[in-house]
Amino acid sequence: MVEATNDLLDVTAGNFEAAVIEESFRRPVLVDFWADWCAPCKMLMPVLAKLVDEYGGKVRLAKVNSDEQQGLASQFGVRSLPTVMCFRHGQPVDQFMGVQPESAIRAIIDRHVERPSDRIREQALAKLEAGDAAGAVADMQSAVASDPDHHALKVDLARALLDAGDPEGAEAQLNLLPMDVHEQEAVKQLRARLVFAKTLSGADLAALEQVVRDNEDDPEGLERLAAAYMVAGRNEEALELYLKLMQRHRGYKENAGHKGMLAAFEVLGPRHELVNQYRRKMVSLLY
């Protein structure tokens, strides 16, 4: 058995909140769900302990005996042992099951351990939230230059560039990402937002509304106004226009209405009330 320290300790339901949830706001916490009868668990434990020791206080390992703490195992949906979850900022953000190579575990830790560029990133995100997209871009570019292998920074830089009105720059940053990162939801949402930004091409919303009023059956006008509505957060109006584009101009840009609708669903997310409503309308048109 590995000796308990501040970086490695046994956790129960009684101290889980303090030892895992609260601690995860300061550093990543790996929670190892194990059992005494589980041979793979005993193989994995020294690997985890070795890694935690190497990170020198930047990560904690919390060991949960699943036989003794069945409530915790059930709460977090543990179905096989060993299961290791990484908690950060109060939430499980990564996990793996079974014995994994040391390199794979190190990659998970590296995704969540604090890096020197994180403080610049936090400063940039605060500026972005405050509406200072240009300031956020400058800070993000500095962070990327100091930590070029940190892919999350490039995703954030792409978002800042898009908010600053530079869709080409945002797309260039996304194109630098490795293929596995492209499957992340944040990247998919940015790709969807790029559809609207590139369609809009900086056009004025009021001018686009006038174009559609003058010719409400113009497919390009409908597409660009729908994109403008999405950028402005007028989501239902955008979806109505994409639906109209599907109904009247199926051949325009190989069903641009359908493509725009799917991009809108990606941006809104699967739980948005409008997504289910308009997905049904879209399917009825397609089939």
Do 167 and 261 sit in the same domain of this protein? no
Q: Is 38 known to be catalytic?
A: yes
Give the Cα separation of 113 and 55 in Å (integer). 9
Domain that holds residue 172: 117-183
Contact indicator for 187, 170 with CB cutoff of 8 Å? no
User: What is the Cα–Cα distance from 193 to 178, expressed in whole angstroms?
Assistant: 20
| Rounded Cα distance, 157 and 154, in Å | 5
The verdict on 88 and 133 lying in the same domain is: no
Q: Specify the number of domains making up the chain.
A: 3
Is 2 a residue whose pLDDT tops 80?
no
Q: What is the pTM of this model?
A: 0.66
Annotated active-site residue in 41, 133, 227, 239:
41
Residues 135 and 107 in one domain: no
Q: Same domain, yes or no, for 20 and 42?
A: yes
Per cent of the chain over pLDDT 90 is 84
Span 229-277, pLDDT tens digits: 999 999 999 999 999 999 999 999 999 999 999 999 999 998 899 999 9
Residues 23 and 92 in one domain: yes
DSSP characters for 165-217? T-HHHHHHHHHTS-GGGGGSHHHHHHHHHHHHHHHHTT--HHHHHHHHHH-TT
User: What is the pLDDT, as a whole number, of residue 3?
Assistant: 54
Which range, of 41-45, 134-138, 200-204, 242-246, averages the lowest pLDDT?
200-204
- The helix/strand/coil state of 122 is helix
Whether the Cβ atoms of residue 237 and residue 252 lie closer than 8 Å to each other: no
Question: What's the 3-state SS for 54-97?
Answer: HCCCCCEEEEEECCCCHHHHHHCCCCCCCEEEEEECCEEEEEEE
Q: What is the per-residue pLDDT across 14-34, written as a single tens digit (0 to 9) for each?
A: 999 999 999 999 999 999 999
CB 93 within 8 A of CB 86: yes
pLDDT of residue 114: 84
The CATH number of the domain holding residue 174 is 1.25.40.10
- pLDDT of 1 over the 50 cut: no
81 near 34, Cβ under 8 Å? yes
Q: Is there a catalytic annotation at residue 86?
A: no
Interior angle at CA 265, CA 259 and CA 266, nearest 5: 90
Q: Is residue 193 part of a domain?
A: no
| Listed residues 78, 112, 146: the one ending a domain | 112
Q: Indicate whether 3 belongs to any domain.
A: no
- Final residue before a domain boundary, out of 60, 89, 112: 112
Residues 49 and 101 in one domain: yes
Q: The domain that contains 68 carries what CATH number?
A: 3.40.30.10
